[in-house]
Structures are given as structure tokens and as C-alpha cells.
Structure 1
Amino acid sequence: MVRDETWDGWLRQSPPGTELLVWWQEARDGMRRVGRDAYRERLVDLLSAASPRDCAAAGFGCTRRIDRACREPSVCRLDPAVPSAAEEEVPHGEREGPVRGACGGFHGFRADFEVHVRFSGGDDRHRAVFWRDTSASAVRLWVDGVPVGSGTGPDSYGHWLDGRFLVVRVEGPDDHPRQSYGPGTLVTGIVSVLIHDAAHGSARTLVPGPHETWTDPQVVLAGETLRVYATREARAADVPDRILPVRPAPE
């Protein structure tokens, strides 16, 4: 991806952004020098500390176009505007540019891996980083630099609820009576759901029971509960399979 040099002004005041730019541009040489695992861990650390504008300045694709770098730095490099109470929230908390402060999601692709970053919205306090090995189609996930969902087989994308809960689909149970299989990052037709609570640094994986057919699960934050629907149609009809209490956020 070709980055716009207009971002250089931002990078001069952002050492983390400059380091991210160099590490990302030198991916091949970096892996050769330190090894694949060490390169990945350092990239995850940098992305976990980066701001949306750092990611844009480093040349990552954004919510608007995942396959190319930001084309509107004159807008996206500006300080974020303070949202008014009347403004509607972007679905899944993702900003799409051109927008002050840059987009809410970024994507990078190399020959044998890809990386995706999801900011939590609002003050962008939290970050989810997804690393996908292309050849093995294996995904690893970090939230705020901490590994999450090890062994669950997460999808390479997720979304935030209210800037606090990260929702990610993961592989479903093999013993589900209606389970099926197909191509894709997730091979199970019926999937489970991982919910990470960034306020408490805790995660739980919801596994559908025999009578819960989660082919397109939807999670909605409603007051002090999380409502889990099997499909979009079930959500539209407001027929949840589960209603889970939400722990109060720490003061």
C-alpha cells in the first residue's frame, strides 16, 4: 500500500506512529532478522499502543477501503470532533472516513499474513488486534496487548459494543446436532460467540446448545444485559436465545 506523505507532519509528533511505520514497511526484512514470531509480537505491541491516526499514517487500509491507504489525510489527521448527543452512533462503533481522527478500523496485508485492528470507538481506549496466517488460515487475537480466546478458533474480524464489549465469532461445537462445515476462516456453519469485557479484562465463550442454531449470531447490549440472538431475523423479531447480566464497570 502507498502512503500519503501528507501524514509526515503527524508522524513528526508521534514516535509510536513512526516506529509502527518503519516496522510495517520492513516486514520482510524484520522477519528475516528476528524471526516470524518475534516480528509478530512486536507488531502486535505497536498496534496495541497506536492511535487510529498512527495506523493511517503508516499506510494501513481503513474502514472505508481496506485495500488502500488513507486518501483524505487533510481531514483524517485532524483532532477528533466531540460528538453531540444528537449524532447517531456508527453501527458496531466503527468510524468510516473521511473523518477527523481517522477511521475506527485498519487492515494490513502481506504475502503470508494479514492483520486487522478494531478500535473501540469514543475515546478509542481499547484495541483489538487480529493476526491471520494466510496459509494455515489460523487467527490469533489480542485485546489491549493481551492474548484473548486462545484455542477458540476466532474469526479475523469482530466488533465493539458501547466501547467496552468486543464480540467475535469463533468455531462452533462439533457435536451440535445441526452442525455443518464449509470453507472460510470459520469452517463450522453453527458458531460460538466470544465476548471480551475490556472494562474487567475478562472473556467468556458462549457455546450454542443443541436447540440453539447460531448460524448468524447477533449480540445486543440492552441496558444492563447482553441479548444473544441466533440470527438477524431473530434479532429483528426480538427473540433472544439468551439474556446475560452485565457486570458494572469499575469506578
Structure 2
Amino acid sequence: MTGWRRRETKREEQIIRVLQEPPEAIDLRGARRWRWADEHWRVWLRRSATGVELFTRWQESDEYRYMLGDDAYQMQLIEILTRATPRDCAAAGFGCTRRMDRACSEPSICSRDPLPAAGVDPHREGPVPGGCDSFYGGDDVRVRFSAGNRHQAVRWSMSLWIDGVRVGAGLRLASSGWWLDDRFFVVPAEGPDEHPAQEYTMGDLVSVIHSVLIHDAALSVTRVLVPGPEEMWTEPWVVRDGDELRVYPDQETSRGPDRTIVLTD
């Protein structure tokens, strides 16, 4: 017990000594804090207050977790990510569609303003002006932007937020998900236990037969489609064709859809 108290006292003394030391010169502090920001991203950060906030929270995550605790840090970062743009995520050092395990390698291109045609295609892989469509923060955080960056899906561990609203609470969702366009986000979910072909394996989803979650970001409406006994949704695939959503059991679409959803809005 005495040894433990001595260690606590020693740590307190170290903290007191640090607080009594004069602050470092601003150029030293600035160099340390912004050392990961490429000059092209610094130009972008001068235009984006949200980008600066995200950069600081992400790069100094240990300090923020120490002050806020893990839960508050997570919720505040999710709120920031729902306001962020692809360039904010790239400037903060997230991995991207091109290389999920490292920061943007072509900031001279990706930091530019996006081309007008970029709002049509939901899939963007750099180097491309405006940045990629997907970003990764370690194993826990994934951010996917819709076409035109009108909406974003934020995945943190096993939970999903779209435009800041929790989606699919209570469901086990796959780590992968995708935007069909600027409106619909799709992600597979754990399938029903009672399905006659259901089996279990290792992976994000332990079921072999999956359900599928479709979120309409324009209306903020979520629907979960559960396969019937005759529907073998091993890799459910959703395609938009005009005013219809077509649900296939997998990416082989030549056999025709199992279901067709007519869009009324």
C-alpha cells in the first residue's frame, strides 16, 4: 500500500512540475500539432472550420479521450463527422477508398474543388479532386459519402449513423455498406434464424442467409427486408433502376430480382 501511495505522489509531483514550466514557443507547439498536415491540406483547413475540428480531435485523440472519456469522445466525433466533407476526412489523416490503411497520398489533387460531374457517381476513388467517397479511421470508424456528398453514413464499431441519426439499432449489421446514389444507403444485416437454409459461420455476420437494411436519406426512413423461405439471400444486392429498387440474392443480377420496390416519392 505504501509503495502504491508513493507512485501516486510521484505522478502528482510530475504533473505539478509540468504545469509550472513555461509554455513552449508557439512555433514549436504549432509544429508539433500540425506536423501531419500537408501544405495542400493546410490550405483546405483555412477554409473549413469543421476540418480543423476533426483534424484536432482525431490527431489528438488520446488527450480528448483523457478529458472526455471514451463514450463522450465517440459521440462528439460522430457529430463532427456528420458535418464533415471528404476533404475534411482526408486532411485529418483518415485512410481512404484508395488505401484504407494510410492517409491520402495525393493531396495536391484531392484537395482541389470537385468537378461538376462528381455529383453523379457515388463511387470515387482517388486521386480525384474533392477526395474519395469512403474513409477509414483504424478498425472502428468508417465514413461513406453519397453521390454529391449530400449525405454521409458513419459506422463506428457495430453501430451506424446516417446524417447524424442512429440507424438499425438492435440489428447486427455488416461492416460493409454502400450508397446507391445520393439517396439510398444499403447494408446487409443478420438473417432470420428460422430460415430453412440458415447456417452459421465466422465473419461480420455469422448467418449465411442475410437480411438487408435500406435507408432513404431523403425521407429519413429505414426499412429492413427479411428473406422469405424461398429467398436465398447469401449476399443481398440492391440496384436502383429508375423509380424501382431491385433486390437480388447476390451480385449475379441476370436471374432477375427476388423483390422489386416501387418508389413513390
Task: Compute the TM-score of the two structures, normalised by the length of structure 2.
Answer: 0.83
Q: Name the structure 2 match of 1:117.
A: 143
Q: Retained in 1: the 8 A contact 2:118–2:147?
A: no
Gaps of 5+ in 2: 1-35
Q: CA deviation at 1:28?
A: 2.4
Q: Name the structure 2 match of 1:55.
A: 89
Q: Which one has more relative contact order, counting CA pairs under 8 Å at least 6 apart? A: 1
| 2:77 counterpart of 1:43 | yes
Q: Secondary structure at the match of 1:236?
A: coil
Q: CA deviation at 1:43?
A: 0.8
User: Which AA in structure 1 matches 2:175?
Assistant: S
Q: Retained in 2: the 8 A contact 1:167–1:194?
A: yes
Q: What is the CA deviation profile of residues 102-139 of structure 1, one whole-angstrom value per residue up to 9, with x for unaligned ones?
A: 11110011xxx5100000012x110000001xxxxxx1
Two-structure CA RMSD over aligned residues (Å): 1.6
Q: Secondary structure at the match of 1:232?
A: coil
Q: Name the structure 2 match of 1:135.
A: none
Q: What is the CA deviation profile of residues 60-103 of structure 1, one whole-angstrom value per residue up to 9, with x for unaligned ones?
A: 00100000100111111111111189xxx65xx22000000011
**Equivalent residue runs for 1:1-251 within 5 Å:** 4-83=38-117, 90=121, 93-109=122-138, 114-122=140-148, 124-132=149-157, 139-233=158-252, 235-237=253-255, 239-248=256-265
Q: CA deviation at 1:143?
A: 0.3
Alpha-carbon separation, structure 2, partners of 1:32 and 1:175 = 45
User: Which AA in structure 2 matches 1:115?
Assistant: V
Alpha-carbon separation, structure 1, partners of 2:103 and 2:262 = 40
Percent identical residues: 53
Q: Secondary structure at the match of 1:243?
A: strand
Q: Secondary structure at the match of 2:50?
A: helix
1:84–1:195 Cα change, 3 Å? closer
Q: Retained in 1: the 8 A contact 2:196–2:229?
A: yes
Q: Secondary structure at the match of 1:247?
A: coil
Alpha-carbon separation, structure 2, partners of 1:75 and 1:236 = 38
Q: Secondary structure at the match of 2:140?
A: strand
Q: Secondary structure at the match of 2:116?
A: coil
Alpha-carbon separation, structure 2, partners of 1:98 and 1:84 = 13
Task: Compute the TM-score of the two structures, normalised by the length of structure 1.
Answer: 0.88
Q: Retained in 2: the 8 A contact 1:62–1:68?
A: yes
User: Which AA in structure 2 matches 1:213?
Assistant: M
Q: CA deviation at 1:36?
A: 1.4
Q: Retained in 2: the 8 A contact 1:131–1:156?
A: no
Alpha-carbon separation, structure 1, partners of 2:218 and 2:199 = 35
4+ runs deviating over 4 angstroms: none
Q: What is the CA deviation profile of residues 2-40 of structure 1, one whole-angstrom value per residue up to 9, with x for unaligned ones?
A: 653431111112110000011111222322221111111
Alpha-carbon separation, structure 2, partners of 1:19 and 1:208 = 43
Alpha-carbon separation, structure 2, partners of 1:101 and 1:232 = 29
1:38–1:161 Cα change, 3 Å? same
1:28–1:182 Cα change, 3 Å? farther
Q: Retained in 1: the 8 A contact 2:40–2:111?
A: no
Higher helix proportion = 2
Asked which structure has the greater CA Rg, the reply is: 2
Q: CA deviation at 1:157?
A: 2.1
Alpha-carbon separation, structure 2, partners of 1:13 and 1:247 = 39
